[in-house]
A and B are shown apart, each in its own frame.
Chain A
């Protein structure tokens, strides 16, 4: 069976150890977390967690069943390709050499990024988009000196 990324959204009770339970379910049963994001919802007593996992269809079915068994997990839904919107965010800190600030800015904006802070030494650039496009953006900005980079987990709706 084809191994690919699958995006799951979990609605869980907002308790201190709920993330540990979920992460432990993945590690204890040999499943992978590619990336993860979590935050409270409009109802502060519940948290929405989005997890991208890698595996074949049968594995993802097993993962969903195991997650549904956790007492603090209220629901598990799988995002089907095409019927959901998924985004991740990347922040880049790019070193300037004193002359290329404008060039970096132009390249970044062309790639769909925005500059959110700028000093004489570096620029911090934000990008939001789909996981498929992220590698492309990283490649384009790699022409410059990327000093640091932070990628978020996927959020999906």
Chain B
């Protein structure tokens, strides 16, 4: 049967199990959109291509499936770049389909031409420009395969208009020639056994869990392992949800705004087992003093992440799930009984937790942003999918919402993309129509992709947005307060921000405002009962800071615990 390229594309997407595409039409993809018109694939029309890319990312992070984004050539394609780079830094499986000018026009500065494969080469796991319709089906299948295997990541496929218009005899593409699997490695079992012996003997062990646990679907295995050996667990921002946030062994997040007890435990431990972690500078602080008393073990699927910034004693290349399953088997096979005396260590950790918990000071009726998160946690019973923007809102969400399950906390950790949270929430809501999805936002970052309110309203995606409205670009203001003599250069946006309640209403959503602490709970209750998208505008303490805070360049054991205390505890 002779088919056009655009028909072959849709057939191949169906072959890959795609049920939802986030996109925005344009000249170069008219033929593809014409095919979508007849197709069962759900298309969610964003209002900006960046929104479409983040939504595909949010769909992927919440569901574990490959997110798909479709945009036109030129500006359509370049608008996805921030979304692609966001997904790349956080290893999110995504396929971005971009239109391209007809092949005969490539390189002539044609209308809406951009060299998008050139532009995205450094921020995709791989990308393709399809030059022959004969290659289309296999290329698309390869793109999905590369996106989801090994360390996942975004893959871009550039589709010239003449290629999707051309017809050939259609033969379904086979499973792709294995281009990524040749890199998969079998875990060095003897090395892992050696690591296990060290873990088993350690007196002050800590596990540092990363996003790899979530991407590798290994949270249950981690829970089992840590529980059986009674090892306290901390995580990176990307690892939130990899270990139950309500488990007594949970230490909270590590790093710049990590908990006192997580930072102290890693600084004092004699063994640090890291799994699916890439040692971001936001996690390690001063690298020379990071876990300096510990033997360190790193398990990661990406060999290039091992010894990249931090030299470990025992490197193990392999996927988190297989490694943890093996570690659990080693526990099963252990003949001698557990002889470690860990109670002293667990007592020490408990003491840190008890004496220096996360804390904030109430201030009369003025809403504290932390209180908003705590109330959201309580009223959603910890079961919402939470997305964040970037900055203070993100850190408070990580500190005060507790995640018992993976794939529930979607945040731009690596790239730190303001404007990520709301479209990502739309993507997550599209994947899980019946779940509560909440974007925890700031009054600055929400304005970066506010146009997606139209997407949420038109597709009846009842995302809730909680704006922690402090009238500032809060995290930058916090740095200006501490390091730049309170000179708030261009971070005071309160006067000129829109009325978010009326803005929500203008888009056909609901807007609610809370001015006082006692308004917080009823506002959230009301929002959760409304079946459509809601903006909650929480007018919060303007100059509240995120603490603890490790000073840049400092060791993670040196934290400022509030804004009155010098950072030398």
Q: Using CB atoms and an 8 Å cutoff, list the residues of chain A in contact with chain B.
A: 17, 20-21, 24, 28, 58, 61-62, 65-66, 68-72
Contact present for A58 and B307 (CB under 8 Å): yes
Which residue in B118, B122, B146, B307 is a CB contact (below 8 Å) of A71?
Answer: B146
Bound CA span A17–B119, Å: 12
Contact present for B117 and A65 (CB under 8 Å): no
| Minimum distance in angstroms from B163 CB to a CB of chain A | 16
Contact present for A65 and B304 (CB under 8 Å): yes
Contact present for B121 and A71 (CB under 8 Å): no
Contact present for B180 and A71 (CB under 8 Å): yes
Bound CA span A17–B122, Å: 12
Q: Using CB atoms and an 8 Å cutoff, list the residues of chain B in contact with chain A.
A: 117-118, 121-122, 125-126, 129, 146, 179-180, 183, 302-304, 306-308
Bound CA span A72–B125, Å: 11
The 8 closest A-B pairs by CB, nearest first: A65-B304, A71-B126, A28-B122, A65-B303, A66-B304, A71-B179, A24-B121, A24-B122
Q: In chain B, what residue has the closest Cβ to A66?
A: B304
Contact present for B302 and A69 (CB under 8 Å): yes
Contact present for A62 and B308 (CB under 8 Å): yes
Q: In chain A, what residue has the closest Cβ to B304?
A: A65
Q: In chain A, what residue has the closest Cβ to B179?
A: A71
Bound CA span A70–B183, Å: 10
With A65-B303, A71-B126 already in contact, 19 other A-B pairs whose C-beta atoms are closer than 8 Å: A17-B117, A17-B121, A17-B129, A20-B118, A20-B121, A24-B121, A24-B122, A62-B307, A62-B308, A66-B304, A68-B183, A68-B303, A68-B304, A69-B183, A69-B302, A69-B304, A71-B146, A71-B180, A72-B126
Bound CA span A140–B117, Å: 47
| Minimum distance in angstroms from A18 CB to a CB of chain B | 11
Q: In chain A, what residue has the closest Cβ to B117?
A: A17
Q: In chain A, what residue has the closest Cβ to B123?
A: A28
- The residues of A that contact B306 with a CB separation of less than 8 Å are 65
| Minimum distance in angstroms from B241 CB to a CB of chain A | 26
5 CB-based A-B contacts, threshold 8 Å: A28-B122, A65-B304, A65-B306, A69-B304, A71-B179
- The residues of A that contact B180 with a CB separation of less than 8 Å are 71
Interchain pairs with CB closer than 8 A, number: 32
| Minimum distance in angstroms from A12 CB to a CB of chain B | 12
- The residues of B that contact A71 with a CB separation of less than 8 Å are 125-126, 146, 179-180
Contact present for B117 and A62 (CB under 8 Å): no
- The residues of A that contact B303 with a CB separation of less than 8 Å are 65, 68
- The residues of A that contact B307 with a CB separation of less than 8 Å are 58, 61-62
Bound CA span A18–B121, Å: 10
| Minimum distance in angstroms from B301 CB to a CB of chain A | 11
- The residues of B that contact A70 with a CB separation of less than 8 Å are 126
Bound CA span A65–B125, Å: 14
- The residues of A that contact B146 with a CB separation of less than 8 Å are 71
Bound CA span A61–B308, Å: 9
Q: In chain A, what residue has the closest Cβ to B129?
A: A17
Q: In chain A, what residue has the closest Cβ to B127?
A: A17
- The residues of B that contact A17 with a CB separation of less than 8 Å are 117-118, 121, 129
| Minimum distance in angstroms from A85 CB to a CB of chain B | 28
| Minimum distance in angstroms from B103 CB to a CB of chain A | 13
Bound CA span A20–B122, Å: 10
- The residues of A that contact B302 with a CB separation of less than 8 Å are 69
Bound CA span A69–B118, Å: 18
| Minimum distance in angstroms from A14 CB to a CB of chain B | 14
| Minimum distance in angstroms from A145 CB to a CB of chain B | 41
- The residues of B that contact A69 with a CB separation of less than 8 Å are 183, 302, 304
| Minimum distance in angstroms from B116 CB to a CB of chain A | 12
Which residue of A21, A24, A69 has the most chain B CB atoms within 10 A of its CB atom?
A69
- The residues of B that contact A58 with a CB separation of less than 8 Å are 307
Q: In chain B, what residue has the closest Cβ to A73?
A: B183
| Minimum distance in angstroms from B298 CB to a CB of chain A | 13
| Minimum distance in angstroms from A34 CB to a CB of chain B | 22
- The residues of B that contact A65 with a CB separation of less than 8 Å are 303-304, 306
Q: In chain B, what residue has the closest Cβ to A65?
A: B304
